[in-house]
Amino acid sequence: MSNHRQAAAATASIAPLIVDGPLRKPISDGVTAVPAATIRPERVEWLWPDRIPRGTLTLLVGDPGLGKSLLTIDLAAQLSRGELGEAGAALLATGEDIASATVVPRLIAAGADLEQVHLVQRHLGGTESVLQLPRDASALRAQVQQTRAKLVVIDPLIAFLAGSVDSYKDQSIRGALVPLQLLAENTGAAVVAVAHLNKGQDADPLRRIAGSVGLQAAARSILLLGRDPTDPDGERGNRRLLVHVKSSLSELAPSLTYEVSGVELDDGVETARISCLGESPLGASELLASDLEPGSAMAEAMEHIRVELADGPKAAKAMFASADDAGISRETLRRAKRRLGIKSKKLDYDGGWVWAWPEPAVGAEAT
Closest CA to 254 of 276, 232, 270: 276
Please count the structural domains in the chain. Answer: 3
User: Do 181 and 300 share a domain, yes or no?
Assistant: no
User: Do 156 and 225 share a domain, yes or no?
Assistant: yes
Is 1 among the domain residues?
Answer: yes
Is 361 among the domain residues?
Answer: no
In angstroms, the CA 166 to CA 179 distance is 16
Is 112 among the domain residues?
Answer: yes
The pLDDT, as a whole number, for residue 350 is 65
Is 306 among the domain residues?
Answer: yes
Verify cis geometry, omega within 30 degrees of 0, for the bond prior to 313.
no
What pLDDT digit, counting tens, does each position of 56-109 carry?
A: 999 999 988 899 999 999 999 999 999 998 899 999 999 888 999 999 999 999
Are 14 and 219 a contacting pair, CB within 8 Å? no
Is 332 among the domain residues?
Answer: yes
User: Do 49 and 172 share a domain, yes or no?
Assistant: yes
What pLDDT digit, counting tens, does each position of 23-64 carry?
A: 445 566 889 899 999 999 888 999 999 999 999 999 999 988
Closest CA to 59 of 184, 192, 165: 192
Which residues lie below 8 Å from residue 178, measured CB to CB, with a gap of 6+? 134
Are 63 and 198 a contacting pair, CB within 8 Å? no
User: Do 233 and 247 share a domain, yes or no?
Assistant: yes
Closest CA to 64 of 250, 339, 273: 339
Is it the case that residue 214 has pLDDT exceeding 80? Answer: yes
User: Do 214 and 301 share a domain, yes or no?
Assistant: no
| Structure-model confidence comparison of residues 189 and 339, the more confident one | 189
User: Do 37 and 53 share a domain, yes or no?
Assistant: no
Is 367 among the domain residues?
Answer: no
- Neighbour count for residue 288 (Cβ, 10 Å): 23
The pLDDT, as a whole number, for residue 112 is 98
The predicted model gives 221-240 an average pLDDT of 88
Could you list the residue range(s) of the whole structural domain that residue 16 is in?
Answer: 1-25+33-43
Residue at which a domain ends, from 229, 253, 284: 284
